[in-house]
A and B are shown apart, each in its own frame.
Chain A
Amino acid sequence: MDLLANFALGLETAITPTNLFYCFAGVFLGTFVGVIPGIGPLAAISMLFPITFYLDPTAALIMLAGIYYGTTYGGSTASILLNMPGATSAAVTCLDGYPMAQKGRAGIALFMTTIASFTGGSIGIIMLSLFSPLIAEYALTFGPAEYFALMVLGLVAASTITNSTPSKGLAMVVLGMLIATVGIDSQSGAARFTFGSMSLMEGFGISAMAMGLFGIGEILSSVGAKRDGKIDKSSARLRNMIPSRDDWARSWRPGLRGSAIGSFFGALPGTGPSIASFMAYAFEKRISATPERFGNGAIEGVVAPESANNAADQTAFIPTLTLGIPGSATMALMLGALMVHGIQPGPTLISQQPSLFWGLVMSFWIGNLLLLVLNLPLIGLWVRLLMVPYHYLYPAILVFVCIGAYSVRSNPADVVMVLGFGVLGYVMRLADLPAAPLLLGFVLGPLVESQFRRAMVLAQGDFTVVMTRPIAGTVLALTALLLFWTLASTYLRYRRRTKTTLSAQG
């Protein structure tokens, strides 16, 4: 069979000692960079990008890609242990990962994220190797109207992501969207809320916001406070790191669903792992029979987003390689690594550079396997990190966050922005306002606005045109249904509760 021959060719390319070395170097660096709070894949790849001028293109791409998906593996570690996302796409993992760690289940959470990451990665690779041209073709049918409909669906899902009262959750989504309007307006070019500052013209960075709200906010509220009793030392024992039968039973379905959601959003240019992980989490919570467990250390809430962001990492290569169009800033760097060597990705890449394409795909398999082997033994080490007294840990974390924020654009203003979001995050904790919906509103808000305005230009101002497009119309109808369901179930639960309180009193 053709596919087998391709796999064989790819394997042949991927297991040459040089390529194997760069694959290992990539995933190894990626894992550690991912663990360090503040340094995301974009910062790490930008720093290492110049190396591609000295490497053969396949080796360069294998290494940069290894860093990319390796970061996502490592990104969840700090989320779980310190409530501090190592990468933006791991922000949602904090919601249930950190409570798990507080209950002495850090080892299990880390174990399951590694398995979930591997599952998500594998499913993403299968999609990439079997259906690349098909998926790329399908993604092209998504125009502004379709993106707008999808993002509205995302916003409705966003409001249910935490256990706060609906009014607080929704207010935070709106606040996130409002903060996202800062900067140059994508449609008119007007500078909104920049107050003459050039550093604000491109708006706030998503990583600055995630690091500030979650990372610095966490440090500000922990430092100087009486800290909850010491982490149970027994959680570092091997026996307490192996998930129970119950954990497995709860996890495998969310893992598969998360992988599917991740594969979908990864392949759409302009969305990506962060949106994918949020969507997977919101979806699991919505269909769960026990949504109240979410936010209190539910294993599903860790598995679903982690499988989603890793699947999205892999399928993000589909538009990049088959259309030559990067879906994100990180993917643009991957494309750059090819163009340095005069290779133009596009529909003909697979046929013209088969050893590069299939070599890369096979290196993804090898990389994911390496990450599995690398990460499982490391769990013990990471959990021991919790034994380090916090007063030695927090200054170092602070430094890493600062360097991470600065290194993206070499702009000190970005460090100040992280501080600003940190203070906001701290105040929000004190005021009992949830941070996750704010982050999601921030991510989705600009997409909703710009895609809607684009769709309106293309429809010549006629909204019915948007509604009657098959994909956009279906998604909007689904959204309306979801909204109705949410409102109805909230109302029903409210009535049931008042009834039980009344009968309890009476």
Chain B
Amino acid sequence: MKALITAAAVAALGAGVAHAQADFPTGPVTLIVPYGTGGSTDMTARPLAIELEEIWGQPVVIQNRPGAGSMIGTTEMTQAAPDGHTLLINTAAITTAPAIQADLQFDPVDDVTPISLLITSPYVLTGGSNVNADDLAGLLEESQERTIFMSTAGPGSSGHFMSELVISASGLNADIVHFGGGGEAYTNMMGGHADTYISTTASVMPYVNDGRIKALAVLAPERFELLPDVPSSGEAGVTGVDIEGWVAVFGPGGMDEELANRINADLAQAMASERMQEQLEQNYAVAGNLTPAEFREIYLRDMQIWQNLADERGIGQ
């Protein structure tokens, strides 16, 4: 039944398709999602695939390859030919993994071609029902009297790295508590068992809007344009925590520069579509708009920051 509906949808789309020019793609494109079906990355990948099918006039097949903190799917991508027909969509986890996983089966510098930064959004520090403070400055004060418990979605998660970064940059008196995923962290914050959680806007804002948890700070020097009411960490005098969360597309290492640019442009076109713009709005996020070369610099820089932080705070040892 599902196959029928998909077929009908593809046929309907096919009717209005502007056909692809040049020599790419010459066949179906596989987009590897290194997370499970229905996760946030998967939910970005699926509508994106629909848009890309329209642009390329070729099927774009989503393959979910979850496991090992996204490294199973990522490894599989690096082993494909760099002809653009196998792509990967991943989050900043691709930059934190090398810092904590000793036995990666690929070289994160040479075996990965960063192609396009699709979506960026700042990290937000949120507080649960046990927190009296309303912003980061207040939290720093509160931590003079008691230890703040910073919850994470697990050791090595981006929220863990960000929490360590905040402790290191602000001198917050805090202990890290690892939970089994973001959901558990949120319930424990709502129930007053843990105090803070750091994640991207897309993840935290629904609960903040519910009034169950509060946004203490956007981790950036300035306030975020889409959340003008949330104070920035810069306002609390805390600097050096302004790393952004993102979702990006990668190809296997050694991809031709022209091809990478071509795919980058097609992805930008897909992101400009109504469907993707709507998604961005829902997630309080903005499109990346960088060239592959510019994105590569961010990719390498973030990886270095995490490696340094892991060494400094003893993460993953």
Touch between chains A and B, by CB atoms below 8 Å = yes
Q: Which residues of A contact B (CB under 8 A)?
A: 25, 46-51, 53-54, 139-144, 184-189, 196, 198-199, 201-202, 269-270, 319, 323-327, 329, 332-333, 335-337, 339-340, 342, 344, 346-348, 409-411, 450, 454, 457-458, 460
Considering residues A199, A269, A335, which has the most beta carbons from chain B within 10 angstroms of its beta carbon? A269
A46-B36, A325-B187 as given contacts; A186 in contact with B180, CB under 8 Å: yes
Asked whether, in the complex, the Cβ of B183 is within 8 Å of the Cβ of A46, the reply is: no
Asked whether, in the complex, the Cβ of A348 is within 8 Å of the Cβ of B210, the reply is: yes
**Partner of B315 from A189, A201, A348, A450 at Cβ < 8 Å:** A189
B226 within 8 A of A: no
CB distance from B221 to the nearest CB of A (A): 29
Asked whether, in the complex, the Cβ of B175 is within 8 Å of the Cβ of A457, the reply is: yes
B9 within 8 A of A: yes
B58 within 8 A of A: no
A198-B72, A198-B75, A201-B69 as given contacts; A333 in contact with B37, CB under 8 Å: yes
Residue of A nearest to B195 (CB): A458
**Partner of B210 from A187, A270, A324 at Cβ < 8 Å:** A324
CB distance from B52 to the nearest CB of A (A): 15
Asked whether, in the complex, the Cβ of A458 is within 8 Å of the Cβ of B72, the reply is: no
- Chain A to chain B contacts (Cβ below 8 Å), 30 pairs: A46-B64, A47-B2, A141-B191, A142-B191, A184-B69, A187-B155, A189-B316, A198-B72, A269-B187, A324-B210, A325-B183, A325-B186, A326-B183, A332-B38, A332-B39, A336-B42, A344-B209, A346-B212, A347-B210, A348-B210, A409-B67, A410-B64, A450-B178, A450-B180, A454-B178, A454-B179, A457-B176, A458-B193, A458-B194, A460-B175
Asked whether, in the complex, the Cβ of A340 is within 8 Å of the Cβ of B43, the reply is: yes
Q: How many chain B residues touch the partner (CB < 8 A)?
A: 58
Known: A25-B1, A53-B46, A333-B38. 20 other contacts (CB 8 A): A54-B5, A54-B9, A139-B187, A143-B188, A184-B155, A189-B154, A189-B316, A198-B72, A201-B69, A202-B68, A324-B207, A324-B210, A326-B183, A335-B38, A336-B38, A347-B212, A409-B64, A409-B66, A411-B65, A450-B180
Instruction: Mark out the residues of chain B between 67 and 93 whose CB falls within 8 Å of any chain A CB in the assembled complex.
Output: 67-69, 71-72, 75
- How far is B38's CA from A202's CA once the two chains are assembled, in angstroms? 18
Q: Which residues of B contact A (CB under 8 A)?
A: 1-2, 5-6, 9, 36-39, 42-43, 46-47, 50, 62-69, 71-72, 75, 100, 103, 105, 147, 149, 154-156, 175-180, 183-184, 186-188, 190-194, 206-207, 209-210, 212, 278, 282, 315-316
A51-B5, A458-B149 as given contacts; A198 in contact with B105, CB under 8 Å: yes
Asked whether, in the complex, the Cβ of A201 is within 8 Å of the Cβ of B68, the reply is: yes
CB distance from A85 to the nearest CB of B (A): 22
A residues less than 8 Å from B6 (CB atoms): 50, 54
B residues less than 8 Å from A48 (CB atoms): 2
**Partner of A460 from B9, B39, B147, B178 at Cβ < 8 Å:** B147
Considering residues A333, A337, A454, which has the most beta carbons from chain B within 10 angstroms of its beta carbon? A454
Asked whether, in the complex, the Cβ of B210 is within 8 Å of the Cβ of A346, the reply is: yes
A residues less than 8 Å from B183 (CB atoms): 269, 325-327, 332
- How far is B68's CA from A333's CA once the two chains are assembled, in angstroms? 20
- How far is B179's CA from A144's CA once the two chains are assembled, in angstroms? 9
B residues less than 8 Å from A457 (CB atoms): 149, 175-177
Residue of B nearest to A51 (CB): B2
CB distance from A414 to the nearest CB of B (A): 10
Residue of A nearest to B157 (CB): A189
- How far is B183's CA from A325's CA once the two chains are assembled, in angstroms? 5
Asked whether, in the complex, the Cβ of A454 is within 8 Å of the Cβ of B206, the reply is: no
**Partner of A410 from B38, B65, B210 at Cβ < 8 Å:** B65
CB distance from B179 to the nearest CB of A (A): 7
A residues less than 8 Å from B180 (CB atoms): 186, 270, 450
B residues less than 8 Å from A144 (CB atoms): 188, 193
A residues less than 8 Å from B64 (CB atoms): 46, 409-410
CB distance from A318 to the nearest CB of B (A): 12
CB distance from A22 to the nearest CB of B (A): 10
- How far is B50's CA from A340's CA once the two chains are assembled, in angstroms? 14
Residue of B nearest to A455 (CB): B193
- How far is B206's CA from A143's CA once the two chains are assembled, in angstroms? 22
- How far is B126's CA from A370's CA once the two chains are assembled, in angstroms? 44
Asked whether, in the complex, the Cβ of B184 is within 8 Å of the Cβ of A270, the reply is: yes
Considering residues A46, A337, A339, A347, which has the most beta carbons from chain B within 10 angstroms of its beta carbon? A339
A residues less than 8 Å from B68 (CB atoms): 198-199, 201-202
CB distance from B15 to the nearest CB of A (A): 17
A residues less than 8 Å from B72 (CB atoms): 198-199, 409, 411
CB distance from B148 to the nearest CB of A (A): 11
Residue of B nearest to A200 (CB): B68
- How far is B33's CA from A336's CA once the two chains are assembled, in angstroms? 15
Asked whether, in the complex, the Cβ of B315 is within 8 Å of the Cβ of A411, the reply is: no
Closest 10 CB pairs of A and B: A189-B155, A336-B38, A143-B193, A140-B191, A344-B206, A333-B38, A201-B68, A46-B37, A325-B183, A346-B210
- How far is B184's CA from A326's CA once the two chains are assembled, in angstroms? 9
- How far is B282's CA from A295's CA once the two chains are assembled, in angstroms? 53
Asked whether, in the complex, the Cβ of B282 is within 8 Å of the Cβ of A324, the reply is: no
B residues less than 8 Å from A187 (CB atoms): 155, 178
Asked whether, in the complex, the Cβ of A49 is within 8 Å of the Cβ of B190, the reply is: no
A46-B37, A270-B184, A340-B43 as given contacts; A346 in contact with B207, CB under 8 Å: yes
CB distance from B202 to the nearest CB of A (A): 10
- How far is B207's CA from A146's CA once the two chains are assembled, in angstroms? 24
Considering residues B38, B42, B62, B176, which has the most beta carbons from chain A within 10 angstroms of its beta carbon? B38
Residue of A nearest to B206 (CB): A344
A144-B193, A199-B72, A324-B207 as given contacts; A189 in contact with B149, CB under 8 Å: no
- How far is B232's CA from A167's CA once the two chains are assembled, in angstroms? 59
CB distance from A399 to the nearest CB of B (A): 21
A residues less than 8 Å from B278 (CB atoms): 342
Considering residues B147, B187, B282, which has the most beta carbons from chain A within 10 angstroms of its beta carbon? B187
